[in-house]
Structure formats: C-alpha cells, structure tokens
Amino acid sequence: MPKISTRLFSGAKHRVSKKVGMPPGSLIHIGEDHSRETEISLISYGARGVETRILDSVDALSHYQAGDAITWLNIVGLADIKAIEAIGQHFDIHRLVLEDILNTHQRPKCEHHDSFIYLVLTSLVIPEPGADRTVIQGLKSGIQYQQVSILLLDRFVITFEESASSALGHITQRLSNSSGRFRSQGSDYLAYEILDSIVDQYFEYEEYMAEQIDDIEEELLINPTSDTLIRIQRLKRELIKIRRVISPLRELLNGLLRSDSPLIHAGTAIYLRDVFDHCLRITEMLDSYRDMTTGLLDIYISSISNRMNEIMKVLTIFASIFIPLTFITGIYGMNFDAMPELHWPWAYPALWGLFIGISGGLLVYFKRKHWL
Amino acid sequence: MPKISTRLFSGAKHRVSKKVGMPPGSLIHIGEDHSRETEISLISYGARGVETRILDSVDALSHYQAGDAITWLNIVGLADIKAIEAIGQHFDIHRLVLEDILNTHQRPKCEHHDSFIYLVLTSLVIPEPGADRTVIQGLKSGIQYQQVSILLLDRFVITFEESASSALGHITQRLSNSSGRFRSQGSDYLAYEILDSIVDQYFEYEEYMAEQIDDIEEELLINPTSDTLIRIQRLKRELIKIRRVISPLRELLNGLLRSDSPLIHAGTAIYLRDVFDHCLRITEMLDSYRDMTTGLLDIYISSISNRMNEIMKVLTIFASIFIPLTFITGIYGMNFDAMPELHWPWAYPALWGLFIGISGGLLVYFKRKHWL
Amino acid sequence: MPKISTRLFSGAKHRVSKKVGMPPGSLIHIGEDHSRETEISLISYGARGVETRILDSVDALSHYQAGDAITWLNIVGLADIKAIEAIGQHFDIHRLVLEDILNTHQRPKCEHHDSFIYLVLTSLVIPEPGADRTVIQGLKSGIQYQQVSILLLDRFVITFEESASSALGHITQRLSNSSGRFRSQGSDYLAYEILDSIVDQYFEYEEYMAEQIDDIEEELLINPTSDTLIRIQRLKRELIKIRRVISPLRELLNGLLRSDSPLIHAGTAIYLRDVFDHCLRITEMLDSYRDMTTGLLDIYISSISNRMNEIMKVLTIFASIFIPLTFITGIYGMNFDAMPELHWPWAYPALWGLFIGISGGLLVYFKRKHWL
Amino acid sequence: MPKISTRLFSGAKHRVSKKVGMPPGSLIHIGEDHSRETEISLISYGARGVETRILDSVDALSHYQAGDAITWLNIVGLADIKAIEAIGQHFDIHRLVLEDILNTHQRPKCEHHDSFIYLVLTSLVIPEPGADRTVIQGLKSGIQYQQVSILLLDRFVITFEESASSALGHITQRLSNSSGRFRSQGSDYLAYEILDSIVDQYFEYEEYMAEQIDDIEEELLINPTSDTLIRIQRLKRELIKIRRVISPLRELLNGLLRSDSPLIHAGTAIYLRDVFDHCLRITEMLDSYRDMTTGLLDIYISSISNRMNEIMKVLTIFASIFIPLTFITGIYGMNFDAMPELHWPWAYPALWGLFIGISGGLLVYFKRKHWL
Amino acid sequence: MPKISTRLFSGAKHRVSKKVGMPPGSLIHIGEDHSRETEISLISYGARGVETRILDSVDALSHYQAGDAITWLNIVGLADIKAIEAIGQHFDIHRLVLEDILNTHQRPKCEHHDSFIYLVLTSLVIPEPGADRTVIQGLKSGIQYQQVSILLLDRFVITFEESASSALGHITQRLSNSSGRFRSQGSDYLAYEILDSIVDQYFEYEEYMAEQIDDIEEELLINPTSDTLIRIQRLKRELIKIRRVISPLRELLNGLLRSDSPLIHAGTAIYLRDVFDHCLRITEMLDSYRDMTTGLLDIYISSISNRMNEIMKVLTIFASIFIPLTFITGIYGMNFDAMPELHWPWAYPALWGLFIGISGGLLVYFKRKHWL
C-alpha cells in the first residue's frame, strides 16, 4: 500500500492555538488564505438601476447610506484586518462579531444584534465532474469549504469571504440582468438570495456524493481492493464533516423565520421557508447516504471473507486430492522384502486406476458441496 | 460476479444542476418523464351528479367556479409548463409553489397559503406479485416513485402527477359509483380521499417488503450466495429511501390536523386522524423491517464464517490423517543398509494394521470434536 | 441445514391488499380467524348482583340501558359483520371505528369520541412452559397475538376479540366472586380491569423471554450450532414485534389519564397510573432483553471464531510436526550413489532419535504458545 | 468449556406468574426472601433526644403520633403480610401502594398521595474487594439488589426492606451521634438522608465496575480466553441491569423537587438537588462504561483474529519451507534408470547446499513480510 | 505483547468510598493532590489600578469588601480544609457547596444561590506537541484533568483549583496589561474570562485529538500492529471521557444566560453566548471524532483480515504447486517390478518438462485470480 497523505486536518493545524491566551475580541485572521489581497466590491441597486464599483476606502460608503437604494458590499479576502476593522467601526459592528468573521472556523449561526443580523455559514466548491478522479482520491476529497459571513443591515448587506465563490457570482449577474422584481425587494431579499445560492451548492454536493457512492459500489462488485476501503472511509468522513456544516443551518433559518426584527419583511418569510425546506431535504439525503456508506462497508467486509473462502477452497481441493494419493505412492515406495503387490504385473496400471478413482470421487464430493 | 448496474441514482443525475444559478421561482420541469403530454381532466360533482371532461383550455374553468359543486382538476404530465403556469395564474398560486410542483423531488410537506393549502407527497407503484423477480433484482428494486402535488382550494382540488397513477384512478371510480355520502362532502374530504388512497399503497409496499424479507431469509437458510448479500443491501436501501418518503408525512398530516384554516372542516378531522394512524403504523412496521434486515445481514455473515469452518474441517481431517501415514511410508522408503524391520516377513501387513489404527483413532478423535 | 419454514408473515399476507381501492369506512373483517362464529356474551352487574347471558339479538340491549347496573358486552369472533354493524348502530359508533375493530392489525391507540372512548390493544397467548420446545422452534415463536378492542361508554363496556382469551376470562370469574368492591365501581374501572389483565400477560411474556435467553445462553456455552443462531434471530424478531405492540400503550394510557372525559372518574386515575407503571417496567425490561440478545449474538460470533482457531491449531500442529519429519525420510529415500550416512550402522536408530527430538521440541513450542 | 450456570434470572422465575389472574390490590409477597421474619424497629428523635425500640404491635404507634418528634419506622422482612397490612390501615395507605411494597420488583418511582409520598428504589450490596473473584465470576456478578420502599408522612418516615441493609444502618448510627443539626430537621430531611445513603452505594458500585473493566482489560492484553468474553458479557449485562435501577431515579427526584406538597420543606430542596446531581453523574459514568465495554469486546474480537493470523503464519512458514524441499527429495528418490545426477559424487552435498539455500531464502522472504 | 498498565481509573480508586457512611456536608478533600500546600492569591482591580498579593489570613479580606474594586481570590491547592472552611464562613457559602469544591469529581454545573452563583467545570492540560509520544502512549493519554470551582459574588470572584493552571495564569497577565476595558467591567465579566480561557483549552485538546487521529491513520495505512488497536481504543476512551466533561457545559452556560440574577449584567450576555457557541462547536467536533474513531477501527479490522488473506494466499500457492509435483515423484519412487516408464531413457527429462509445465500453468491460474 503506498503511503498516501490522508491527513484530513493538516491544513487546519495551529488554527486555534494562535489565539489561546489572547483577550476575547482580538482581531486576528485565522484562515488558510493569508496571501490574498482584500478586495471590497460594491453593488448598489434600486428601482432606477444598478451601480457596480470597487471600493478603495470606507469613507465612500457614506454616499450610499442616504436614499432608497439597496447596497451590497462584498469583501473578498480577509487578510487586511485594518480595512475590516474600518468597516466594522463604520457600521458599528460588535468586536466579537468581527472576531467571528475573521476566524473562519465558525459553526453556522444567526445572531440578532440591535441594528443588524449576523449570519455565518459555509459555501462549498465541488470538483468538476471531468476532473481527474485519481488526483482527488489521493488528496482528500477535493471539496473546498469556505466560510461566508453575512451582515444584514437596514439597506445594506455586507458579505465576507476568503476567495470569490461562484455562488455569489451568480447573484451579481442576476442583479444586473433582473428586470425589476429582484431590484424592488429589500436587503433581506438579497440576503435570502445569497443563502439560497449557497444552499443550491449543497445539492451539487449531494449529487457528487451520490456519484461517489455509485462508483464505489461498482468497484465493490467488480474488484474490491484495499483502496476501496480507503475510498469508503473518505466518503464517510466527508459525510461526517458536511453534517457539521449543514445541520446547524436549520437553526440558523429558524432564527431568521421566527425573528421579529424589522429587518425581515413579512413577504420574505415564504422564501426563507423555501430555503429551510431545501435544508431539510439535503439533511435527510445526506443522512441516508451515511446509512448507505455503512452498507458499502458491510459489502466490503463480506467480500474479503468471501475471497478468503475461495482461497481456502482451492487449498483444500488441492491438498485433499493429492495428499491421499501421495500416501499411496509412499506405500509402494517402501523397501520391505515381502511386498507381494510389487511383483504383480497389473498392479501398476491398477494403481493408476485407483488414483483416478480417488480423485474423481473427491471431485464429485466437492462438486456436491458447491466448492467447484 | 456479473457486472450488474446497481446505480441507484443514475436516473436522477443532473436533476438539480440544471437549476443552479437560476433565480428562485424559475419554472423548469425537473423530472424524469419529459416526453409525456400534459392532460388536464376535470371532475365536477355535487348533490346533483358527476360531470367528467378533458379540459383543453384554462378558460373553461370559470364556468365551474360558480355554484356549489366541488371540482377536481387532475393534471397528468408536467412537461407543458405554459399550461401549468396558466392554471397557477388563474388560481393565484405563488410562483415558488409552481416551482415545487414542477421540481418532482420535493420532501413531503404541507404549506398553508392565504387562499389554498399546498400538499406534496410521493405515490408508489409496486411491481405485480407475478412479475419476474430476477428482472427486478437486476434493475434496482422495481418500485417506482412519483410525486403527487395537491392544491386544496375552497371548492377546488387540483392534483399534479407525472403519469396517471392507480391511486387516483380508484377515487374517480368511487366518485362515479358513490351514492351521495362522498359527494355531499367538501373539497377537504376529496383531498383526504386522495391522501388515503396514496397511503393505502404504502401498505402494499409494506407487504411487498415483508415478502422480500421472507424470500431472502429462505435463501439464507438454504443456499446463501454473494447475490443474497446484494439483495439484502438492496432491501436496506429501499427501506432507507422509503423512510425519506414516509416519515415527513406525519408532519404533513399534523399540519392539516392542527390547521385553523377554514378550508378544513371539523368533520374531516376524524378522517385525517385515521390516515395519521396509518402513517404511524406503516412507519413502525418499516422501522422493524430495518432491524430485521440487520438480522439478515448477521445471518449472512455468520453463514460465511460457518462455511469457512466447514472447509477448514475437511482440510484438517484429510491432512491430519494422511500426513502422519505418509511420514511412516517415508521411513520405510529410506535406503539405510541396516533397517531390520524391512526384513521381517510380517512387517508389511503389520504396517497396514498401524495405518488403519492411526486413521481410525483420528476419526474417532474428530468425531468426538463434532467435526464429522 | 434442513429447510425450516421461517416465514414470519406468511399468515398475514393479503391482509391489506383486500382493502386497497375500497372507500374508507368499508366494513370487512381483515383477520386470520374467519371460520369462528360470533358469540355475544353479556354480563350485567351492580350492587345487587351479577347477571350473565348469551345475547341472540341486539334488541335485548335496550333492557340494560336503563338502571344503574354496569353492562359488559363481550363479542368473540369477528366474522359476523352484520351483528357488529348492528351493535355499532345501536350505540352510535362511527364507521371508521367499526372498520378499525374489524381490521385486526391496528396500532394500539386511544380515541376520544363524543359519547365513548375507543381503545385498541393486543393480548398475547404464551405457550405453556411444558409445551414441546422443538415444535415451537420450528414454527415461529409459538406466541399468538390477538387484537382486543374496547369501547368504553357511560354504563357500558363493549369488547371485541377474535377468540376467547384467558385475560378476559379471569375478569368474568372475579366479577362473579367479587364481594362488592369491584361491583360498586363504574364502567371505567371495568375497562381498567381489562387493560390490567392484558398487561399482566405481558409479564408472563417477559418471563418466557427471560427463559428463552437463559436457554440460548446455556446452548451457546455448551454447544453452539447454526440452529442457535436461528433461535437468537427468532428471539430478536419477537422482541422487535412486541415493541410495536407495547410501546404505543404508554401513549394510550396517557390518553386516558390526561382525559377530561366524564367517562373517566377521578378515583380510577390511580389504577390507570398503576397500569402505566407496569407498561413502563415491561418496556424497560424488553429493551434490556434486546441489548442482551445483541450480547448473545456477539458470543455466537466469537464462538465460531474460536472454533476456527481450534481447527487451525490442530491442522498446524499436525502439519508442522510431520512435514519436517517427512522431509528427512525423503532425504534418505534418495538414490544417490554417494550417501555415506546410509551405510553407518547406527544411522537408522539415530534418525529415530532425531524424529523424537524434533517432534518433542515442537510440542514444547506449541505448549508454550498455549496451543495444547 | 465447563458448564457454568449463567442464568441471570433463575431466581426471578414465577415472580409474576403468581399474581396473574388475581384482582389488583391483592397483597402477596413477591420476593426472594420468604423465610425472614418481619422486624419492625422504631426510632423517634427530636430536639430532646433519640429513642430506639423494637415494635411488637402497631398499636404502640399512637403514642408517637402526638408531639413534635420525628418517627422512623423501619420494617425489615416482608413475609408477615398481616403486620404490613396493619401498618397500612393505621396510616391509611392505599392498597395499591401496599401491593407495590410487597411486590419487590418495582420500577423506581415517586407517587404523591393525599397524606403521604411513596418512594420506591433499589439499594445495592457490592461484594467486598477481598472476596474471591472466581466465585463471583461463577455465580452471576455477586451484586445483590434489594427494593427499599419509603413512605414519607407528616412526622413519620416508614421504610420497608427485605433484609437489613448497611445504607440504612449508617443513618441510624448518625442519628444517635448527631449533635442537633440532623435532629432539628423534618421528616423530609430523614427521607433525603435515606435516599442519599442509597445513592452513595451506587458510587461504590461504579468503582467496582471500574475495577472490573480494568481487570478485564489487563486480562485482554495478557492472555484473552473465552472466559474473558463471558466476563465482558457479564459486565455488559450488569450495566444493562443497573440502568433500569438508576435511570428512573432522576424522574423520582424530579417528582420530589417539583412537588408542591407541604411534606417537602423549602430548605430540603438544596439537598435533594445534590442527590439529583449525584444521580446525573452516576448515570453518565455508567453510560461511558457501556461504551468502554463495547471497546473491550472490539479488543477481544481483534485478539482472536490476531491469534488466528499467528497460527496461520506458523503453518505457512513450516509448509512453505518444507514442501518444496520434500519435492526435491522426491525427485531423487525416483527409480528411473537414466538419472545422471545420482551418480555424481558431489551431488548429495550440493543438494544439502540447495536445501539450506532455499530455506534461507524463504526465511529472509518471511522476515521481510514481518512474519517472523 | 508487553504488560502495559492501561488502568484508566487507577488513580481514582477509593475516591468515593472514603465518604460512604458520612453525613452530607462533611468537608473532606477527595482529590489526587494532597501534598500541595494551599495558596491564596488575591487580585483586586478597578479603574484606578491592579493590586496583587498573597493572602495569609481570611481576615484581610474585609478590607476589600468596601469600595468599587473587583476582587479575585484564587485558591490553589485544596488540602488545607480549615482555610477553605474559613473562606466559606466569611462569604456565607452553603456547606454542600464547600463539599462539592473539595470533592474534585463534580459534574460541571451551575448553581444559583441567594448571594452567589456556584460554577464548577474541568480544565485540561494537554501534553506539549514535542513531548515523547511513546511515553504518553504507555501511561494513559497524557492529558490531565483538573476541577475548577468558581464562586461569583457581587464584587468578588473566588476560584478553587488543585494546582495552578495556565488558563488562569493568562488572565492574571491580561488584567495587569489591560488598558481599562477589562478593568471597567464587573465580576461577571471576570467569571466569563475564566470560563472563556478554560474553553479555549478545549480547542487545544481538539487539535491534539485531530493530530492523534491523523497519526493513527498513517500508522494504519503503513503498518498496523496490535499497538495500533490499543491506541485507537485509548483515543475512543479519551473521547468518552471528555464528553462527560464538555457536554454538561452547555447546560451550565444556559443556566447563566437564562439567569435573572442581578450578578449577571445584561452586557455580559453577548460574551457568554460566545462561549456557548464555542462549546457547541467543540461538542460537534468531538462527536465527529468519535465517528472517525469508529472508522479507524473498521480499517484496523479489515487490515487484519486482509493480512490473513495474504498469508493464506502464500500458503495456498506453495502447497498447490508442490503437492501435485511431489505426488508425481512419489509415483516414480515406487518399487513395482513392472513400471515401463522407468526404463525409457527420455522419461526423466520429460518429467522435468511436466514439472515445469504444471507449475507454470498453476502460476498463470493464480495470476488470473489476482493472487500474485
């Protein structure tokens, strides 16, 4: 078995240790991607149109705080702590929230604050169907996890991610193309759209998992190797991991649905309920995949036992046939003076007959036992 | 082992991917059966009688909206999105509901809207008892799942299915034959009848599963092969799958029972409670089948081990008897000058006595160990 | 392994299929015992005395509806649908309730109706301790299940069963012998007595299961065969089945205890609470038996592995001792011209010493490995 | 394997059957210890002092019902039903409660009655650490269970047990030695002290279990035998059994804590809360022991497999080395006329070289495979 | 296998037995570290500055009870019962609380008293990453558990620990360095800081566990030995143990969050909620590690089976090739007078051809079966 790096957590090392002993509210970026520059893009839209720009300084924000337009601030890259702190101060965000935004290992949750709602969840990047499977197999599961933080304010939505994800890209496009329906809604609808596009990715994930299960199943039925076991375990782990990502989402959405915050308009509830249903559905799907993976393991273990049976059968057939025959040859290889059979002329051919008879008889016996 | 296509999800591929990146409320038919033409049949009934017709255009509906009669609109085939959109507009159905109707992978649920209640659940088609089992075995489990959407309005019930199911067929028949009792009830009773006939199918399913368990059990006790393991796993999966279909039903029915909607009359509650009890019963049955399936797996695994024991016994008996004997023949096959036994005249027959004695003794020993 | 009919459900086939496609409330007897005649016995009791008679016609009931006496109507045998329908009409019982009474596969439940409470549960018949175990083993578990329906009305209790059970027999006897205390109570106390005597049977069942576990355990420690596995699985199934029968009882009793129905008097609550405690106790006992059964399975599986080890040891000891010795005899059976040892006079006896030395050494080695 | 009596329930047989068919409230002593005489001891204490006496007749109790003193009546031995019935009548105890006191297989519970609270739980006797383990191993687990019933009245506490337990003995002693604090409290504090001393025994039990786990673990790592498996299963069962005893205690204590009965004074709540915490702790400890026992089983099963591997290795090494060598000796034992090697003078020593070469090569090969 | 002391609880023996039979509220130190002297350090801080001193006598405390400063009393070492009793009396702490502080095996909990809140939880010491792993492996897991008791009073926080932990050390340092924010908060904020620093250690623990899982995984894929199994079980146990430590924390924090005590200020809630989220996160992480550990066990067990397969293959290949060949040599070693083949001059070389042919054929056969 080649040495494969199967470390699941290697990248995550020292992620918390950095902070041990520091006061709460210390702003340190605890994530994987430190090199990436922080980019703040702004989309402001309303009945009149859509304006898109890259923001250099937080000061420019004041311009957008007046008027009816909804403004979406998307921060990509979390290395520039100063910039994030500036945004935090501008919108009066609690330091513990900023700490959570920067520490990209949060449990999905929904926090109600006085002037804003803080949502944090995880978006996924699933490898392309065409991607080389063997490569993915070697290096973990090939699925990338990324924390997305959403601050929902009165007419602002601020999102934070470590690198640009396709989920948010879709929405930008839709906003530009949209003919009014989207643009006439409030900031809560924008937040819903973001949640919805992230949850949609989970369905892609679920399909990917279904494919993996199918693949492994086929492998199991044709030629199970010890690599198959590794794949099953990898799948199992992936499902353990995703549950940590998805199961708190129901709570998050419940937090929004049952909220009496003026930030959530009555009309948005039906949309949030829809995302909630999707979450339920995906959770149940993934739970059933877990059970299936256990089934795969059972098949693997039985297939090992079956193979052992087959090996033992071959050994037993060979040994059981030839050991008695060899015993007979041993008898007539003895050097006793008085062995009358040795001098009978037809003894040797008769013995051949006996050999064939014994082996034939044993073969019939094994045939009846379904060993052949 | 022949290569069997055991893909459970193959047909379901790309089902969601199509929609990723699209705005919510986009009406796309995500189901298996695209070729089927959409057929809208209408049954209007009341104290006076029953009228059945095939509807060409939605406009004809206005005629039925006046008066006391209850009208049942059954849409079979979901490919004609235009027609469905027209119905949606006519009855003022929210776009997200239409989206759910068209996307036939919904989790069973009950949604209360202002003027209607939306129910979605799954009906089953179980293969005929006489159907060739081996064919079913090769291709998944032979059970077909179909989403049924029910819109319950004031004097209207609208159902959507991909292909005509026998469950709804029964009700049509009963309506025509009914001598008043059925026809004097409101639209909620019609919805109950539809739910009840779908749940009745689950009992058929449950019987089918019981038969499968019996069959496998018999196979296990007579001649377990690796195919038996595949059958057990298939059964297990089917039970995993059905749970996703049935377990949310209790919630759905609770939603109806606890509803204070004017659409549900007090008199219907006892009927809904009855369906609820059926759901509980079926859920408990299927849960116990799951446990039984685990028991089947235990028997399978033990039977493999038992067989290994049997093979090992045969090998050990053969080897243990003949190896010592062969050793003795080896002794007297040696060419030493000074081997006095070789010249004793009764040595050879005495040796035969020894051979028989040793093998007899070992046979008695193995008999005592219950190996024979 | 002989072919044993292990079908658990064979008798239950077609039990539901009959009803598929029929309108709800259709009265069809779905049970096993169709041949049995329906017998309606009546016991009327009060402070003054006890009257027992067999009822021919429902009309005679009017006589008992006046006055203070409590009347118990016990219907044994459900084949005569007409008679049951007549009773239903006489006491104004909802058709769905009658349907449940006739369909003897109900989940235990408690339904509150306007003028009566409907209780349905399952009574057991446990085979006599002296009954031939091997017969029971061949045909399922020997335990018979029977549905008992109880209608609790103001001064009436109506019970329905398929065949006369000992549980109800005890009560009849007690009523006749009772010196007032029993007879001075209302109809709810009679219903309690019926529930209590059915639950008492579950304790008999529990003892029977405990005995079975003990038996199997003994078998496992002395001589486990593949029949032992069948027995363990049978036990496990029986425990799966009984849970479906017993676990809903708590709910049923809670339904009675929390009821504000005038049919339940305050003084009866303490008795119902007692039955509730019994149910809790029996449920916990049976849960622990489930865990024990899993333990039995673990012992069985380990005992198979242990036996394999033992077989392998015998083989290895035989082969390891004789194979080297045979090799040595092979050496001196070779026909080389130049083999000086062959001509040494003490070579042959010396070789015997070597044979004994090698086998003795190996025996000591195996002894040290605890293989002997 | 010697036949060990492992019957867990043997003593418990017929415990319920006795009562089947009897009316509720029938007073029959259903316990193990019928021979023991019933002894009623009385301790009356107050600010002024402690009085201890053995009670001959219930009539003497009237004396203690006046005044401020708290009286503790301890009934040891339940065979004298008359005496217990007399006490019941004296204090107006419901017959169902008396029935529960006599039937010593109750589930721990707390019942609130008008004038008293009825508590029933189980006390344990753990074998001394120095006791001969092998004896304990042979006969079940050596742990004795005993039901303790507590009736808490206004200024009376009445306890019932089958034999004198050390738990209650401690309290008697403490009462005599106590310098006021204990004696100034009400009857509810006495009941708390009794509960507390019984729960303290569970900690002894828990320690005993921890020791057992340690012992088995050591046995597993040094020399696992099939007896080890029996010990593991015994432990598992004991943990299954104790859970039935301990887990309802939380409910019992909750019943006391949430009670608004005047029998429970506000000041006692903190003490009851303390016992409640102990119960929680012990429950969690025992739950974790269950998980550990599963771990022990895994080690046992792997150790069997490991041993099998070892046996197979020995066999394979012996067979693989000597079988090829024996084949070679077979070749030169053939009697062909034309075998030139036989006449080469250095052939025989060369063959010895070959023998050594082959076996050396194979030993190196097995060494590399880590089989040696 | 060397005898390793794997006793998990050895140190914990007799911990409770000491107290059995003693009255509740008896102050006895039940912990491991009796030798350590008790040291009482005091930190008093406020807007004006920080004062640190070692306290010799409890009398000096009165000085700090006046004024606005917050005082933190840290008691390290619990052997000096007198001193602790004195503190208890000074602050009017209930004896049961003092008993809990001294008995260092408490379940984490939060108790609300009239004038203070009592918190008890467990802090961890994780071995340094550089520490010698083999040593840790031999002696349990190397992780040390220590009980921390926190008494939260109006302007006092009193902590009790058996030995100085780094968690509390960090806070002392931070208090000294802090520029006001910390120092301006109340005693509840100090309690929060203590809780937070203890929970932070759990993240270190979680990282340590992740590393252990990675290590074992690597070991499993490269060269699994029976030591690997011991490591897996050790990990599993550690996870069982930590759950008892962490899972009650949620309840503890809920107790604080839902408290209406004047000791908890509104502004502290957001901080406590943050710790609560951390607890949730760590609990979910550790739950998923449990599942992973089960996966490791599955890999271990399969790897043993795989190895057995490999051993069997070697044996079968050797035996199956040489046993038939040896039979052939046996034939021509027989001493029959009439064996024509023996006199054919090309018979011997032809036989060599046969030998090579048979073994070649078998090798091809095994190759096809993927045994080579």
User: Of the residues E248, E274, E304, which one is the last residue of a structural domain?
Assistant: E304
The answer to whether residues A222 and A347 belong to one domain is: no
Tokens representing D54 are 């053995």
Asked whether the CA dihedral B95, B96, B97, B99 is positive or negative, the reply is positive
Residue D297 C-beta-side C-alpha neighbours within 13 Å: 21
Of B211, B295, B312, the CB nearest to C237: B295
User: For position A15, what pLDDT does the model report?
Assistant: 47
For A53-72, the pLDDT digits (tens) are 888 888 888 888 877 889 99
The answer to whether residues E243 and E285 belong to one domain is: yes
Computed over every residue of chain C, the mean pLDDT equals 84
For B177-230, the pLDDT digits (tens) are 766 677 788 899 999 999 999 999 899 899 889 888 988 888 888 888 888 888
* C129 φ/ψ sector (left φ>0, alpha ψ -120 to 50, else beta): alpha
The answer to whether residues A354 and A226 belong to one domain is: no
Residues of E with Cβ-Cβ distance to D333 under 8 angstroms: 329, 333
D277–E109 CB contact, under 8 Å: yes
Instruction: Give me the count of residues in chain C.
Output: 372
The answer to whether residues E184 and E155 belong to one domain is: yes
**B181 DSSP 8-state letter:** T
- Which of E240, E244, E336 to mutate to probe the D interface, most D CBs <10 Å? E240
D311–C316 CB contact, under 8 Å: yes
Q: What are phi and psi of D39, to 5 degrees?
A: -125, 125
Give the Cα separation of A20 and A22 in Å (integer): 6
The answer to whether residues E297 and E340 belong to one domain is: no
User: Of the residues B252, B275, B303, which one is the last residue of a structural domain?
Assistant: B303
* Predicted structure pTM score: 0.84
Chain B touched by A273 (CB under 8 Å):
yes
Torsion of CA C157, C162, C167, C172, to 10 degrees: 50
Of C4, C107, C304, the CB nearest to B277: C107
Rg, Å, chain D Cα set: 34
**B103 DSSP 8-state letter:** B
A107–E281 CB contact, under 8 Å: yes
C-alpha distance from residue B315 to each of A312, B160, D51, E313 (Å): 9, 65, 80, 15
pLDDT average, residue stretch D149-178: 86
In tens digits, what is the pLDDT along chain E, a chain of 372 residues?
333 333 333 333 444 555 666 777 777 777 666 667 888 999 998 877 888 888 888 888 888 887 788 999 999 988 888 889 999 999 999 989 999 999 888 899 999 998 999 999 999 887 765 554 444 443 356 788 899 999 999 889 999 998 887 778 888 888 877 666 777 888 999 999 999 999 998 998 998 898 889 888 888 888 888 888 888 988 898 899 899 999 999 999 999 998 889 999 988 988 999 999 999 999 999 999 999 999 899 889 888 888 889 999 999 999 999 999 999 999 999 999 989 999 999 999 999 999 999 999 999 999 998 888
The answer to whether residues E37 and E152 belong to one domain is: yes
Of A96, A308, A326, the CB nearest to E312: A308
Number of domains in chain C: 2
Tokens representing B337 are 């000058």
CA distance A130 to chain B (A): 14
The answer to whether residues C267 and C328 belong to one domain is: no
D306–E304 CB contact, under 8 Å: yes
Q: Is A148 exposed, middle or buried (0-12, 13-18, 19+ CB in 10 A)?
A: buried
Tokens representing B93 are 């159905």
A277–B107 CB contact, under 8 Å: yes
D2 falls within a domain: no
CATH of the domain at C16: 3.30.460.20
Tell which residue, C313, C310, C291, C290, has the closest CA to residue C302: C310
C2 falls within a domain: no
Contact C30, C19 (CB under 8 A): yes
B230–A211 CB contact, under 8 Å: no
Contact B33, B162 (CB under 8 A): yes
Chain E: partners with 3+ C-beta pairs within 8 Å: A, D
Torsion of CA C261, C262, C265, C269, to 10 degrees: 10
For C276-296, the pLDDT digits (tens) are 999 999 999 999 999 999 989
Give the Cα separation of D305 and A305 in Å (integer): 13
E86 falls within a domain: yes
For B215-235, the pLDDT digits (tens) are 888 888 888 888 888 889 888
The answer to whether residues B219 and B344 belong to one domain is: no
Tokens representing D240 are 């299954």
The answer to whether residues E250 and E359 belong to one domain is: no
Residues of D with Cβ-Cβ distance to C175 under 8 angstroms: none
- Which of C179, C239, C274 to mutate to probe the D interface, most D CBs <10 Å? C274
- Tell me the residues of chain A between 121 and 180 that have a Cβ less than 8 Å away from chain E: none
User: For position C194, what pLDDT does the model report?
Assistant: 93
Chain C touched by D223 (CB under 8 Å):
yes
E210 falls within a domain: yes
Q: What are phi and psi of C104, to 5 degrees?
A: -80, 45
Residues of D with Cβ-Cβ distance to E230 under 8 angstroms: 221, 299
Computed over every residue of chain D, the mean pLDDT equals 84
- Tell me the residues of chain D between 25 and 44 that have a Cβ less than 8 Å away from chain C: none
**E261 DSSP 8-state letter:** -
Is pLDDT at B278 greater than 90 in this prediction? yes
ipTM entry = 0.80
User: For position D259, what pLDDT does the model report?
Assistant: 86
E1 falls within a domain: no
User: For position C188, what pLDDT does the model report?
Assistant: 92
User: Of the residues B303, B321, B336, which one is the last residue of a structural domain?
Assistant: B303
Give the Cα separation of C80 and C102 in Å (integer): 10
Contact C354, C335 (CB under 8 A): no
Give the Cα separation of D167 and D148 in Å (integer): 10
Of E196, E312, E335, the CB nearest to A342: E335
Chain A touched by B372 (CB under 8 Å):
no
Three-state secondary structure call for residue D346:
coil
Q: What are phi and psi of E236, to 5 degrees?
A: -60, -45
The answer to whether residues E105 and E138 belong to one domain is: yes
Angle between helices D269-331 and D226-257 (to 10 degrees): 160
Contact C45, C186 (CB under 8 A): no
DSSP string, E56-103: S-GGGGHHHHSSS-EEEEEEE----HHHHHHHHHHHT--HHHHHHHHB
B305–C308 CB contact, under 8 Å: yes
CA distance C13 to chain D (A): 34
Tell which residue, C241, C248, C238, C245, has the closest CA to residue C276: C248
Contact C239, C289 (CB under 8 A): yes
Tell which residue, D152, D294, D306, has the closest CA to residue D221: D306
Give the Cα separation of A20 and E173 in Å (integer): 13
User: For position C4, what pLDDT does the model report?
Assistant: 34
Contact A3, E222 (CB under 8 A): yes
**Enclosing domain of residue E331:** 309-368
pLDDT average, residue stretch D50-64: 84
Q: Name the strand (E) or helix (H) holding B161.
A: strand B156-161
Chain A touched by E285 (CB under 8 Å):
yes
D193 falls within a domain: yes
Give the Cα separation of D333 and E335 in Å (integer): 11
The answer to whether residues B264 and B328 belong to one domain is: no
CATH of the domain at B348: 1.20.58.340
B364 falls within a domain: yes
- Tell me the residues of chain C between 237 and 256 that have a Cβ less than 8 Å away from chain B: 237, 240-241, 243-244, 248
Is pLDDT at C33 greater than 70 in this prediction? no
Tell which residue, D24, D20, D56, D25, has the closest CA to residue D40: D56
DSSP string, B21-76: TSPTT----BSS--SSPPEEEEEEE-SS-EEEEEES-GGGGHHHHSSS-EEEEEEE
User: For position B223, what pLDDT does the model report?
Assistant: 81
The answer to whether residues A90 and A189 belong to one domain is: yes
From A28-42, A159-173, D97-111, E291-305, the region with the lowest mean pLDDT? A28-42
Tokens representing E152 are 């939260």
Residues of A with Cβ-Cβ distance to E199 under 8 angstroms: none
pLDDT average, residue stretch A65-86: 88
Pairing of strands E39-45, E50-55: antiparallel
E15 falls within a domain: yes
Buried b (16+ CB within 10 A) or exposed e, A245-260: bbbbbeebbebbeebe
Contact B149, B182 (CB under 8 A): no
Instruction: Name the E strands within D10-90.
Output: 39-45, 50-55, 70-76
| Tokens 């489990």 found at | B141
DSSP string, A48-112: S-EEEEEES-GGGGHHHHSSS-EEEEEEE----HHHHHHHHHHHT--HHHHHHHHB--PPPEEEE
C-alpha distance from residue E160 to each of E101, E185, E188 (Å): 7, 22, 17
Give the Cα separation of C312 and C324 in Å (integer): 18
Of E166, E302, E334, the CB nearest to A301: E302
